[in-house]
Amino acid sequence: MDSEPNRPMAEPDAEAAPPIRDAATVLLIRRDQTGGGPSILMGQRGAGAIFMPNKFVFPGGALDAADASVGLASPLGTTCAMRLALDAPTGLAAPLAVAAIRELWEETGLVLGTPGPWSGTVPEDWQGFAATGHLPAAAPLSFVFRAITPPGRPRRFDARFFLADAAHVMGDPDDFSRASDELSHLHWVPLAEARKLNLPFITEVVLGEVAALAENGGPPDSVPFFDNSGDTPRFRRLA
């Protein structure tokens, strides 16, 4: 018999929690010129996606390091930039707008910009966009929602949602031929019917919030913020 006293079993190392990454998402609204209601652009994530498989979402994704080096042909509105700066690192507003425009381009092939030549070296992720002869423009973007992914998810994001009118898209808003394969079934969904799709919870909430904004235009009176950065969820408004 082993005379050595019993030793407590070592606890296995807890898996490191995923970092919260800054991200940007675009809610592109298309107004029906025949008098019908507005539509919103959505696509479906693949069944094998780690984050939100099979769900219909808006174009968007994480901020890239190179986004901070990309200049904008037109800046964000003053109110939007001010609200983006709340509870955020200094100087993040413009890169978030850049990321939103880049993600829209990568996932849909649509250009939110103005005609013009690039100066200097074009970052790799922007070479396709630059080849269209346009510069990214943030003026059409309106910051309308913010949400941090709750703990326990395989990936976590501090996502800022931007509303933009499809009238600002350069070219045909039905041409998705230059889109990556990250989203499938890209299509314009009538806003009144979008909540019938297979959606993440937060996407449903965002759709409810932006229904009135789609009609009125301009920045909202305040921006809803679902803050899940800590153990206790908080909801507040950024004004």
Half-sphere exposure in the Cβ direction for 100 (13 Å, CA) = 30
Distance CA 185, CA 31 (A): 20
Domains and CATH numbers, the chain: 20-229 (3.90.79.10)
Banded model confidence at residue 11, pLDDT cuts 50, 70, 90: very low
Q: What is the mean pLDDT of residues 61-70?
A: 94
Quick check: 23 and 160 in contact, CB under 8 A? yes
E-only strand ranges, 131-239:
134-136, 142-148, 156-165, 169-170, 183-190, 223-227, 234-238
Distance CA 48, CA 154 (A): 13
The terminus-to-terminus CA distance of the chain in angstroms comes to: 70
Q: What is the mean pLDDT of residues 198-224?
A: 84
3-class DSSP assignment, residue 130: helix
Q: Which residues pair with 115 in a beta bridge?
A: 134
Banded model confidence at residue 4, pLDDT cuts 50, 70, 90: very low
Query: Nearest 5°: phi and psi at 31?
Result: -95, 135
pTM, rounded to two decimals: 0.89
Distance CA 224, CA 209 (A): 8
Instruction: State percent of the chain over pLDDT 90.
Output: 67
pLDDT digit string (tens) for 78-123?
999 999 999 998 899 999 999 999 999 999 999 999 999 998 899 9
Virtual torsion, Cα 35, 37, 40, 41, nearest 10 deg:
-40
Q: What is the mean pLDDT of residues 14-21?
A: 78
Give the DSSP letter of residue 132: T
pLDDT digit string (tens) for 139-168?
999 999 999 999 988 889 999 999 999 999
Give the DSSP letter of residue 53: T
Greater confidence (59 vs 230) lies with 59
Q: Compute CA 118 distance to the chain's CA centroid, rounded to the nearest angstrom.
A: 24
